[in-house]
Amino acid sequence: MSTDPVSLLRFQREATAASRLSHQGIVEVYDVGEDNGQHYIVMEVVRGTTLKELIHRRGALDKFEAVAIIKRLAQALQVAHANQVIHRDIKPQNVLIKDDGTVKLTDFGIALAGDAIQLTRHDSVLGSVHYMAPELSRGEGATKQSDIYALGVVFYELLTGEIPYRGENPVEIAMKHMRDPFPSVQKFNPSLPNSIVNVIAKATVKNRNYRYRNIDEFIEDLSDILDPSRADEPLWEFETPEDDQGTRVLGTLTEEETELEAKKKKRKKMMIIGGSVAAAVVVGLFAWFLFRPKPKVDIQVPKVTGMTVEEAKVALEQLGLNVNASVSYSYSDEYESGIVMATKPGEGATVAKGDQIKLTVSHGKMFEVGDYTGMTVDAVTQALKDVNVEIKTVTEPRKDMAPGIVISQSGLNPGDKIVPNQRRELTLTVSSKMQLLIPDVTGKSVAATKQELEALGIVTRTELLPQAGLSLAEIKELEYNVVKRTNPLAGSYYVQDDGSSVTLYYYEKISNPEPETKPEPEKPRYRKPR
């Protein structure tokens, strides 16, 4: 690179620009320099993995995780665009996932990836063809909207585990980005909300006049993408503007241009014309031979529904049909997981040899949510062990049922059908023991107090206080049939449980109370003097 002044200038410019970016979602550039003709960049060390490796290892991510990652990447890109830095090579290989889950964007147009096509037009460097915006393939300069297109492709890959287009060579892939409709993520996972489909569609629309104008618009649309109110919003559509280029008319040849040259030059000119015509004929014949339409061989699409993917591929490839990278997955109550549900074109359709046949394969049955009221939390957990449902509990004290019983459920209702591996939340309201504050009932009627406490769910017992040992004066001061004290004491908490109770202590009037009798003092004996 040091011998190429254009590459060197670009390296220095991009490295300097990247070093000015400061954001937790961007790999930090510490230094840029040159040593003995070798130019270098000192960057932050990130321990973790790339997003591409994560997708390769786990496949499609659930919508919550995918949206969280895209939001962080968009925020990092927002900082770059605010500093007039265009990334030019956004792809999962350039996204690092730290061990703690932090997402970081790296390689701002600096690194030349081995699997990337690098096209140069003036001051633009274009990245990997799988994420390349159509305008870049047409030779137009990279813009911030080109970055948004690439981010939309990454969003698609997070949700499907696949890139949108495949081909035998980079040119074929670039052509598909320019002319083939962008596939919908709902073909892979029908349960994804329309809001996600719309965001990806608007980010990857081929005409950038209809694309998000800037990353701020993209982030704003992401902010409520998982709001339930947007799940069934109308799918986004756009109209392609009519071609405003009129028919071009070539200028008319002038009389001077049609005159023959002097006799001296005539013979030479005719030789040149003759040679040019001959060369044109040769080139034309070669082009016709190379690009001539091959004779079409009609093939009827066979029935492959009910087969495994491998069985269907063998059956179709034996007829000369192509099925590579044309498999999408959907849930079905009819077909077991891994079984072909449908083809496009369908069974019996006439196609040509080499045509692509798309397979729709069953992901298995959707999971039907049950009615979990009356069950224990452990029983519900066992019932949901094979699906990605997070159970949250809210307790409600109930005196009419044992603790730990589900009273109601929310978030997922009985009969709802959900994708087994898609993360969902279920909130259970569960009964708990009654815990009541024992009021101060001293001086109140025992009968009324007992009735009041039992109405609150407190088991109440009564116990007489003994009067033996009290003086007549003390007995006269007693209040009968009123609460003197409780056990537990007032202000304590009563927990409703087997064996728990509150005891009310009181005096009851006795008809003939016997006062405490004290022994009379012994009289001194009189002795007669002698």
Here the CATH number for the domain that contains residue 406 is 3.30.10.20
15 is in which domain, residue-wise? 5-230
Among 230, 259, 275, where does a domain finish? 230
Q: How far apart are CA 155 and CA 55, in angstroms?
A: 11
The answer to the question of residue 213 being in a domain is yes
Extract the tokens encoding 196.
Answer: 């996600």
Query: Is residue 424 located within the same domain as residue 440?
Result: no
Domains held by the chain: number: 4
Query: Is residue 94 located within the same domain as residue 202?
Result: yes
Helix (H, G, I), strand (E, B) or coil at 137: helix
Extract the tokens encoding 413.
Answer: 């209702």
Backbone phi and psi for residue 251, each to the nearest 5 degrees, phi listed first: -65, 150
Q: How far apart are CA 165 and CA 131, in angstroms?
A: 9
Query: Is residue 417 located within the same domain as residue 346?
Result: no
The residues facing 70 across adjacent strands are none
Among 230, 249, 273, where does a domain finish? 230
The pLDDT of residue 204 is: 96
The answer to the question of residue 284 being in a domain is no
Residue pair 163/157 in contact by the 8 Å Cβ criterion: yes
Q: How far apart are CA 155 and CA 218, in angstroms?
A: 12
Query: Is residue 83 located within the same domain as residue 26?
Result: yes
The pLDDT of residue 351 is: 87
Buried b (16+ CB within 10 A) or exposed e, 160-188: bebbbbeeeebeebbebbeeeebbbbbbb
- Show the beta-strand stretches assigned E in 441-495: 460-464, 483-487, 493-495
Q: Which helix (H) or strand (E) holds 397?
A: strand 389-397
- CA diameter of the chain: 199
Query: Is residue 123 located within the same domain as residue 197?
Result: yes
Query: Is residue 85 located within the same domain as residue 212?
Result: yes
Helix (H, G, I), strand (E, B) or coil at 252: coil
Angle value at C-alpha 493, between 487 and 496, nearest 5 degrees: 90
Catalytic residue among 89, 400, 416, 440: 89
Query: Is residue 57 located within the same domain as residue 146?
Result: yes
The answer to the question of residue 393 being in a domain is yes
pTM of the model: 0.47
89 catalytic residue (yes or no):
yes
Among 389, 414, 432, where does a domain finish? 432
Extract the tokens encoding 190.
Answer: 């029908």
Q: How far apart are CA 131 and CA 149, in angstroms?
A: 8
- Omega prior to 170 cis, within 30 of 0: no
Here the CATH number for the domain that contains residue 94 is 1.10.510.10
Residue pair 202/236 in contact by the 8 Å Cβ criterion: yes
Q: What is the DSSP letter of 163?
A: -
The pLDDT of residue 516 is: 53
Query: Is residue 73 located within the same domain as residue 195?
Result: yes
- Show the beta-strand stretches assigned E in 339-455: 340-344, 350-352, 358-362, 367-368, 389-397, 406-410, 417-418, 424-432, 435-437
Query: Is residue 346 located within the same domain as residue 321?
Result: yes
The answer to the question of residue 216 being in a domain is yes
Query: Is residue 72 located within the same domain as residue 211?
Result: yes
Q: Which helix (H) or strand (E) holds 379?
A: helix 377-383
Other Cβ atoms closer than 10 A to 387? 18
Tens-of-pLDDT digits for all 530 residues of the chain?
555 666 666 666 666 666 778 788 888 877 777 778 777 778 778 888 899 998 988 888 999 999 999 999 999 999 989 988 888 889 999 999 988 788 999 877 543 333 334 433 333 334 589 999 999 888 888 899 999 999 999 999 999 999 999 888 888 899 999 999 999 999 888 899 999 999 999 999 999 999 999 999 999 999 999 999 999 899 887 654 443 333 333 343 344 444 544 554 555 555 555 455 445 544 454 454 445 555 556 788 899 899 988 888 888 888 888 876 567 778 888 888 889 988 888 888 888 888 888 888 888 888 899 999 999 999 999 999 988 899 999 988 887 788 899 999 999 999 998 888 778 899 999 998 877 888 999 999 999 999 999 888 788 999 999 988 888 888 888 999 999 999 999 888 888 776 789 999 999 987 665 555 556 666 666 565 65
Length of the chain (residues): 530
Query: Is residue 191 located within the same domain as residue 223?
Result: yes
Q: How many alpha carbons lie under 13 Å from residue 365 in its C-beta half-sphere?
A: 8
The answer to the question of residue 511 being in a domain is no
The answer to the question of residue 85 being in a domain is yes
Backbone phi and psi for residue 487, each to the nearest 5 degrees, phi listed first: -140, 115
Please classify residue 255 by burial: count the beta carbons closer than 10 Å to its beta carbon, then call 0-12 exposed, 13-18 middle and 19+ buried. Answer: exposed
CA 364 vs CA 193, 250, 338, 341: distances in Å:
20, 62, 7, 11
- Show the beta-strand stretches assigned E in 36-193: 38-43, 48-50, 95-98, 103-105, 120-121, 124-125
The answer to the question of residue 500 being in a domain is yes
The answer to the question of residue 101 being in a domain is yes
CA 53 vs CA 32, 68, 457: distances in Å:
28, 18, 59
Nearest C-alpha neighbor of 163 from the set 152, 171, 172: 152
Query: Is residue 447 located within the same domain as residue 323?
Result: no
